[in-house]
Structure 1
């Protein structure tokens, strides 16, 4: 465990040492003091293959302090991930710009404190093991320490990996977002440029560590079926999707249908005006991104995706109920796909320039997932029977109320 962690710490420290020594000097001094003390004790114990009393006394009082450091920096990194992962792009950008150095510090401090924590408990277990030669209880206690340390180490390293993964993913996505020249206002361009530069600096610090903890997802290649106008380049979308995919997730088809307006009449007027304004600034704004993987369907507005990596829908494939490739009932006769999921009905209209065979291929890939779970089918049957029974009772009640009484009949 110590060899594994020490290698990770060296990987990160080689890049971050100069940066870390310029910020949070007091915290850094406290942490490095604890880490150095425990590292030195571990090295000496390895050299003499023992943990004598005088060596143990040098670190015996460090347990609570090491635990405190570990919890402090674990919580700090959790906070960073939560802040950066917010949907509000302005908050996201501002946080990165003002906290870049603190993020780098906390990531390294988390790993360093975990290293020190593991070393402390290794010494503690060795000490108990030595005492166990003459005391069975001490020998058993050494086994308990080793067992608990291994379990807590695995848990802490897994959480550290998850936190660093999440942090690095957000930074990588930010670095891939559309360049500042594409933003309409000068102030916005400066803002975007600053956050991209901050993300790039942080990636230089954190990426080597992140890649060691968890090998990165390989680049995504364009699938065999891409339903897009000939002028649209899918590469910027693929670079962002790379960091949104889960391990082993495969892209099967990519589509760029026109945005379908499903708003109410008043909202449609406002939305249409906004759409025309946006289209004047970006030819791709009136499009929807549809990425179908072997696990889910991701949809997004292309402008929001390229500028903020914002996803509109994330639909698991097991929620697909029905798919149909059809033709729009208007003068354009454009290809369309109707998708019915467990919760909603979706229609995508495709530009006339897109090959119909590609649209059919997209529908075919979606169609492979069509299914109705037995529970939903049984529920539909139950509702049908309940409706029939309710209708029969209503008819019976209605008939009884209109029958003439005896005196009325004779009259």
Structure 2
């Protein structure tokens, strides 16, 4: 709350989720890494999973505990060491995480926090003691890290930006869909890679959905993250607010219609009001760029084909959701039509320790969480005994 503006209840939920991922890997990590015996021509052949060494984790500020533990829990359970380079505006969180891991009984230096400048990161990646790198951040940062790691032939996992489309069909439960879209868009002040960036609503139910969505949006309290009832705190930094406002203004200049919000309020703090925009130009900044703040974009679509054309037109591919009264149809769309690493039906996109998490296209590569996550940073070793 103090370092990046997250409302207290959301901060508590983040800590509880971080504990959950630790418990999950404590309970399942050993089984995930058991040798797998394979019948071949050999007298004995099997696959072993062994640690790589020291992993450099470059982490962002928006979920300062969860995103670290999402990496650390499986990596440490696999026998690796971790070095955390956190965002400079959440240094207190970074130091607290190191303290918690030490207090949990891990030996000193198994997990360490370094407080360095961005310009020092390249040298760290190139250091021979670093075996691999994981980054959660922007696509631009991902390109840079991947280029450096690739030149050193080092494994990297990238969880990058997103422009998640949420498709609301004409058979959806409108009230339920609106609630899910409100949470998916405005949780953490919209500062999430898997937030609902584009709401693609069938024209038959567009006005009904818009009215319900606006009603819920009006009720969201923006204010001090330490005060009871606050759902949206200030944005994490002034430059982030300015960039968001520029995206909104540029889109309005191209014809987008602001329904509520869309201005920088007077007073202290990097607050930005709940903003809802109607958009008909699919090439505008709010449709083509990642929107990292409390701005929802409503787009009217004719049918599913039209919705999918817009949904899949982005260079991102992190998450997506579809709302429909026919869950089997929604599952088919999610499985066969939407281009994303995670597709949800009748709820908002979220990460879960039991399920792999990651994206395609410029949203990154590799997976975190679940069985796949713990096996990202291991040597998959083949043993063959003739």
The question of a shared fold, defined as TM-score above 0.5 by the shorter chain, is answered with no
Q: Structure 1 or 2: larger strand share?
A: 2
- What TM-score do you get using the length of structure 1 for normalisation? 0.24
Q: Structure 1 or 2: larger helix share?
A: 1
- Mark the structure with the bigger radius of gyration: 1
- What TM-score do you get using the length of structure 2 for normalisation? 0.25
Highest relative contact order (Cα 8 Å, sep 6+), 1 or 2? 2
